[in-house]
Amino acid sequence: MTTPASVPAPATVLVFLDPAFEGGRVADPAQPQLMATDLGATRGDGVFESLLAVGGRPRKIQAHLTRLAGSARLLELDIPAEDAWRRAVDTAIGEFRRQDPATAPGGGTDEVVVKLLVTRGPEGAAAPTCWVQASPPAAAGRRQRETGIDVILLDRGYDSEVGERAPWLLLGAKTLSYAVNMAALRYAHRHGADDVIFTSADGRVLEGPTSTVLLAHLETADDGAGGVRTIRRLITPQLDSGILPGTSQGALFTAAKAAGWELGYGPLEPKDLLDADAVWLISSIRLLAPVNHIDGQEIGTPELRRQLTAELNALFSTIE
């Protein structure tokens, strides 16, 4: 199937980290770049990060580089230093904006999806294969930010303490082994839902296949002057329950605390989600996606979801 001439194919830029090229080596995405024996392709043996660049600036890049390094350590991968990644990211974003006029000022969108990828390389390779990919964001992500999503709960099959008991499961690493996560999303789509929230075998709320779970509660309290004040509380599952620490969740918590929100870390059960005033799945690319229904039950009210989502989006927009 060919792309009609009137509809240009979306730009994709590949930049391989190569000591011979200070800013990385730009590669042709239409040509093969990996060997068929690369262990990233044959075994999913590698790690990655995804981030959003807005107006040509990568958001939360330090948090993503820190998490990439942590994932690499768990897989015993020796990856290039942060400066090399930063230069390659800048090269990829610059080349993408040069190729795609939609990301130029006034071009309609200023968002670029940037992925940092590492594989162990071909069998017996002396060093991993590392590259940066820049591509346009999917239309579905922007739509879900605006209209919200319906979610189902799925059992991940592990209890909430397995991460500490069995570190070889790599539950705290962002690995290329995403087959289970993608299977969960396909299952959700077949059953009329947009996304998934995983639960543990012992009944704890964990995370989404590609996102972190947030929930909000509003409470009123005496303000000490004869009136009342509203307490806004933002909660996420415990980070030691075998989930990936969310860079977006961490950044939003910092901004929310500065704005007067109270913060909390689980443990959470499904009933906590159903009783919340609002629930979101948050990630670096889709950003805040408000959850409309969980297993068919509406969460909060449309008006309150819109209000709280707008408040958190305003806070998130200030994050570099």
Q: Which pLDDT belongs to residue 107?
A: 52
Q: Inform me whether the pLDDT recorded for 258 exceeds 70.
A: yes
SS3 for 247? helix
Q: What is the pTM of this model?
A: 0.90
Per residue in 175-190, pLDDT tens?
A: 999 999 999 999 999 9
Distance between CA atoms of residues 147 and 198, nearest Å:
22
Q: Which two tokens stand for residue 127?
A: 């060093």
Residue 8, pLDDT score: 44
Contacts 24+ apart (CB under 8 A), 275-279: 276/215, 276/216, 276/217, 276/300, 277/216, 277/217, 277/218, 277/304, 277/308, 278/215, 278/216, 278/304, 278/305, 278/308, 278/309, 279/151, 279/213, 279/214, 279/215, 279/216
pLDDT of residue 6: 41
Question: Which one-letter amino acid corresponds to residue 247?
Answer: T
The helix/strand/coil state of 249 is: helix
pLDDT band at 266 (very low <50, low <70, confident <90, very high): confident
Q: Is residue 152 over pLDDT 60?
A: yes
Taking only the tens place, the pLDDT of each residue in 15-69 is: 999 999 999 999 999 999 999 999 999 999 999 999 999 999 999 999 999 999 9
